[in-house]
Chain A
Amino acid sequence: MPKILTPSNQTRIYLFCSFIVFGLSAFPASAQTAEQKGLDIAKAAQAYDEGFGDFTADMVMTLKTRKGDTSTRNIRIRTLEVQGDGDKSLSIFDEPNDVKGTAMLTYSHGLEPDDQWLYLPALKKVKRINSRNKSGPFMGSTFAFEDLSSQEVEKYTYKLIGEESCGDWQCFVTERVPAYKHSGYTRQVAWIDKEGYRMMKVEYYDRKKALLKTLTTDSFQQYLGHYWRPSTMDMINHQNGKSTRLEWKNYQFQTGLSDRDFRSQALKRLK
């Protein structure tokens, strides 16, 4: 007759169950999975940045080839925070001169495809564009569209893989796997500081799982006594040697922008 449960087995099971119950109630953090911790950090980072309302800024983008040749783009950015959805954002191009007056409007939506319109001043035409091309380069730079888009929590699945110092701060190191379609990446590793949830560094791994690019941010400024924004962002492509530097200037928060300023047909009147 087979022994289904010996007293010792029963004891072990009891002990095991009580450990789980005890463990969960007494030490919630330690029993959390790395995935849960990663998600919590992403949620905390999003919560930290909520309430900024809107901002405007000037962006100077310097593209550098492997040989060291450079070219510059000047873009004005206007962003409106949208509660419960991705932000609305306007990019107005001032340089190079042949694209002066071109404007791009994006309504970003977490996992759903973004709505995107382009105003072409030569034709005086507002054109709805297909936003499915997330992995394509932005203006010939090493930044892809997906690198510059609004970072909603649901866009990735997360995993906390470590904690280490990053410059003067302590950082969470989290792995993010894009949950949206058509990403050019299999995963990203992000260094996020524990205090102000500043994204200090991101490594991007391509579809073959090889390291493709590294983003490093620098010279963070705090606005409205709370929100951190970097003054420079450098994106290096390790595979082709190209790099792009973004310099952010003239950040202004809560400037009074509203939905009215982010209508597709209002693109025509931007100067």
Chain B
Amino acid sequence: MEYTVERVRELAAMARISLADAEAEALCCELNAMRAIAETLRDASDLPDPFLGAVGLGEMRDDSPHVGLLRTDVLALSPAVAKDATVVPRAVEG
């Protein structure tokens, strides 16, 4: 879908930004260029879910061990932990 002046004005209203007519017209062209880059994502499939992919739905059980509010197996998957650093979210600190 190409950006039109009307669509740009709708987006500007959502973002609470006043636009001059010339600005809205210029933005159509620029936003179309950005949209063309983003279109590549339409073809992106079979990629891991950043939140569930690492753990796997089969392993999601309520009786998993926790540290504070965080499951230990999820915490252990943190890349920082794996590389000898420790992420300490506030939930654990508290």
Is B one of A's binding partners? no
Chain A residues close to B by CB (< 8 Å): none
Chain B residues close to A by CB (< 8 Å): none
